[in-house]
Amino acid sequence: MALPFTTVRDLLRFGVSRFTQAGLSFGHGTTNAYDEAAYLILHTLHLPLDTLDPFLDARLLDDEIDAVMKVIERRATERVPAAYITQEAWMHGNRFYVDERVIVPRSFIGELLQDGLQPYVADPDQVARVLELCTGSGCLAILAAHAFDHADVDAVDISADALAVARRNVDDYGLDARVTLFEGDLYAPLPTTRYEVILSNPPYVNAESMQALPREYQHEPELALAGGADGMDVVRRIVREAGKWLTEDGVLVVEIGNERANVEAALGGLDLVWLSTSAGDDNVFLIQAADLPV
């Protein structure tokens, strides 16, 4: 039996109802059923993602309705993040290719890069070298290259699959001459050098939280999420070695989600600066080189 849908408005209403009924979890680019349905509909119909209203009452072809319904049903039944369906993620107006080999980009460090980490980086134009650890899709390395126009950026990940995605994104942005990808464990594959800025959005989810992750997050690579019993296994190692890789006035910036209490317990005694983002003051910390262990 044909579904009684003819317009974008019809599909949008159905999508919101279907997602709400299915009890979906959000957080991979949108925060609610309405925005998720609107995004998936506009993407599937090849319409501008920021222009919904003019198309709400447009009558659709049967094959267009069928295509949208398949996407809505896949999102509702498989609980796969929308970004994996569309194979794209957006950060601060920048589009990145993604698939199941990487977590969906959603770092608050991207916000902080918009002003070049000022005032902690006095002059972004003078930054010559940036390092990103646990790069995944390469999105932060690319945003760092945009924020620090004169810098070369090294980006490291232990996953060859993730680096294949990062390579595609670096090539898409024409940054292969400035962004160098390294496969290996944190600092291990790097040549001896010093960086003015080290960034990382590492695995930080603690073991208890890993067990409680919604199904959407279970589609993402566990390697990129799980941070051990207290979530701090990788964070400790990043901080412990960072002083050997930073310039004298360099900074280390690390994103840790909702793990501030575990960070402060694990790194007690270090002078942590908690940076303000759209999520509050508990998600990203900064340490200046002078305050790091040597």
Distance, CA of 137 to CA of 157 (rounded, Å): 9
User: Within a domain: residue 93?
Assistant: no
Say whether both 61 and 125 belong to one domain: no
When divided into structural domains, the chain yields a total of 2
Say whether both 113 and 237 belong to one domain: yes
Distance, CA of 288 to CA of 51 (rounded, Å): 43
Q: What angle do CA 224, 225, 226 make, to 5 degrees?
A: 110
Say whether both 111 and 244 belong to one domain: yes
User: Within a domain: residue 219?
Assistant: yes
User: Within a domain: residue 72?
Assistant: yes
33-73 confidence digits (pLDDT tens): 999 999 999 999 999 999 999 999 999 999 999 999 999 99
pLDDT for 2 equals 54
pLDDT at 111 over 90: yes
Say whether both 62 and 139 belong to one domain: no
2-11 confidence digits (pLDDT tens): 568 899 999 9
| Cα 290–chain centre separation | 29
User: Within a domain: residue 92?
Assistant: no
Range of the domain at 255: 107-291
Structure tokens at 102: 């990487």
Amino acid at the residue 158: I
pLDDT at 1 over 70: no
Amino acid at the residue 86: T
190-245 confidence digits (pLDDT tens): 999 999 999 999 999 999 999 999 999 999 999 999 999 999 999 999 999 999 99
Rounded (10°) angle between helices 160-172 and 139-147: 40
Which of 40, 56, 86 represents a domain boundary (last residue)?
Answer: 86
Say whether both 147 and 222 belong to one domain: yes
Q: What angle do CA 125, 115, 284 make, to 5 degrees?
A: 120
Say whether both 150 and 283 belong to one domain: yes
73-93 confidence digits (pLDDT tens): 999 999 999 999 999 999 988
pLDDT tier for residue 255 given thresholds of 50, 70 and 90: very high
pLDDT tier for residue 293 given thresholds of 50, 70 and 90: confident
| Cα 36–chain centre separation | 17
Say whether both 55 and 193 belong to one domain: no
Say whether both 68 and 210 belong to one domain: no
Q: What is the DSSP letter of 205?
A: B
| Contact in structure between 80 and 70 (CB atoms under 8 Å) | no
**pTM of the full predicted structure?**
0.93
User: Within a domain: residue 98?
Assistant: no
User: Within a domain: residue 241?
Assistant: yes
| Contact in structure between 257 and 205 (CB atoms under 8 Å) | yes
| Contact in structure between 143 and 135 (CB atoms under 8 Å) | no
149-190 confidence digits (pLDDT tens): 999 999 999 999 999 999 999 999 999 999 999 999 999 999
User: Within a domain: residue 258?
Assistant: yes
116-159 confidence digits (pLDDT tens): 999 999 999 999 999 999 999 999 999 999 999 999 999 999 99
Distance, CA of 84 to CA of 87 (rounded, Å): 5
pLDDT for 294 equals 72
Distances (CA, A) of 267 to 156, 242, 245, 264, 287: 23, 13, 19, 5, 11
Q: Is 88 exposed, middle or buried (0-12, 13-18, 19+ CB in 10 A)?
A: middle
CATH at residue 205: 3.40.50.150
User: Within a domain: residue 3?
Assistant: no
